[in-house]
Amino acid sequence: MTTLGPAPAPELLDDAERMSRDELTDLQNRRLADTVARCYQNVPHYRKAMDAVGIAPGDVTGLDQLAALPFTGKAEMRQNYPFGMFAVPRTEVRRLHASSGTTGRPVIAGYTDADLDMWADLVARSLRAAGVRAGDLVHNAYGYGLFTGGLGLHDGAERLGCTVVPVSGGMTARQVQLINDLAPDVICSTPTYLLTVLDGFTDAGIDPRASSLHIAVLGAEPWTDAMRDDLEERAGLHAVNIYGLTEVIGPGVGCECVETKDGITIWEDHFYPEVIDPVTGVPLPDGELGELVFTSLTKQAMPVLRYRTRDLTRLLPGTARPMRRIERISGRTDDMLIIRGVNVFPTQIEELVVATPGLSPHFILELTRPARMDQLTIKVEASQGLSDRANRESVANRLVRQIKERIGVTATVLVVDPSTLERSAGKLRRVYDLRQ
């Protein structure tokens, strides 16, 4: 069962975290009107897109007119590669990051001095919401470089008043040694890489629950509540979900609050969220499942209007903060697998794998097309001690039945030896499409 952490003292919260909804809406209206005007004036793409639908900057005075604006996607950003989406001269940009896409041109993100300052503030806010406090020692295992995770978390942790160990990803044995030697309070990583680190503790003969870690700030890939329960049980810590994406700013668009662990609070004073029907593009009421869309309200270098994230979620009322929450990301529209007419998300498989005794959380999905029919094969590692072949077959058959009953697709399950599947040092690759 999920345990909750302590809420921050009220005096530690930012002013925006204590606003009423009316105050927040007024701020959003003013910031949206300013952002739209700057986009139209300074970004040729947005000027052309708004002209094409007959919208002038003065037509958008607040949130009520937002749905009239055109969407932005990765395609538009790649068409304007590298600097065409910037709203300031390149000489005013202090840092560049890039998305981690594997096909086509990357998406370049630029940051002014003001953007970097705001970003650090929001990551600090996120870490504080996750239970991190000034003076904590933070082991940062997110990748540094063009990926926004490493430097984004680093700057925010320093802004909060923490001591940061900039480990980055990989060299897991060294990570385990440093955690033992330096005794950090917090680890920041992807959830699957934390699994790898915990395996490293086990391989070294160390109980992960005996480590100094009491908070894990995890993001950059979808993960489930079942995965959270497994991580918290294995490591004896609070596992908290942070959210962001390069195209919007990076980590710090929102974060779970450790005192509720009931979804990610979106920092709505800087990023306005919508949920739309992914097919029609029509905005959906709060509470309905759809694709998450963001409009930035304060970004200077590269503001975005109605950016389609491809993430599937619901907008929910605020709890720990007045700002709205999003439900845990259930998948991505572009990660969805269609297996013989059945929609399948890797997170659905993860929930069933984690809940099956005898299996570890390490698995991959392979798609093949023998005899012109799509075939899904799940390779999943056995837990330590499940060595008997008959027992492995029994566990595999149980998972096959669960997948058929819960998801509606027939799959092949292969239970492999522990520590044989590729480990993640950053974002994990779950799906291998081998179809010809």
Tokens of residue 293, six digits: 């869309």
Q: 222: exposed, middle or buried (C-beta count within 10 Å: 0-12, 13-18, 19+)?
A: buried
Domains identified in the chain and CATH numbers: 1-332 (3.40.50.12780), 337-433 (3.30.300.30)
Give dist(CA 43, CA 37) in Å, integer.
10
H/E element holding 320? none
Contact yes or no for 116/89 (Cβ under 8 A): no
Whose CA is closest to 41, among 88, 1, 78? 88
pTM across the whole model:
0.86
Between 337 and 292, the higher pLDDT residue: 292
Give dist(CA 47, CA 59) in Å, integer.
13
Q: In terms of DSSP H, where are the helices of 8-147? A: 21-42, 44-52, 74-79, 113-129
Mean pLDDT, range 26-37, rounded to an integer: 98
Task: Say yes or no to pLDDT of 105 above 50.
Answer: yes
* Alpha carbon 83 to its chain's center: 25
Bridge partners of residue 276, in order along the sequence: 283, 291
Give dist(CA 267, CA 264) in Å, integer.
9
In the structure, what pLDDT confidence band is assigned to residue 408 with cuts at 50, 70 and 90?
Answer: confident
DSSP secondary structure letters along 214-229: -EEEE-SS---HHHHH
| Amino acid at the residue 237 | L
In the structure, what pLDDT confidence band is assigned to residue 103 with cuts at 50, 70 and 90?
Answer: very low
Give dist(CA 179, CA 312) in Å, integer.
35
Residues 258-295 pLDDT 10s: 999 999 999 999 999 999 999 899 999 999 999 999 99
Contact yes or no for 346/364 (Cβ under 8 A): no
Contacts of 228 (CB under 8 A, 6+ apart): 2, 239, 241, 261
Write down the pLDDT at residue 426: 65
Write down the pLDDT at residue 263: 97
229-268 in b/e burial notation, b at 16+ Cβ within 10 A?
A: ebbbebbebbbbbbbbbbbbbbbbbbbbbbbbbbbbbbbb
Task: Say yes or no to pLDDT of 348 above 90.
Answer: no
**Category of 161 on φ-ψ map: left (φ > 0), alpha (ψ -120 to 50) or beta:** left
Residues 413-423 pLDDT 10s: 999 998 899 87
Bridge partners of residue 298, in order along the sequence: none
Percent helix, strand and coil across the chain, each to the nearest 5:
35, 25, 40
For CA atoms 270, 107, 76, 344, the dihedral sign is negative
In the structure, what pLDDT confidence band is assigned to residue 384 with cuts at 50, 70 and 90?
Answer: confident
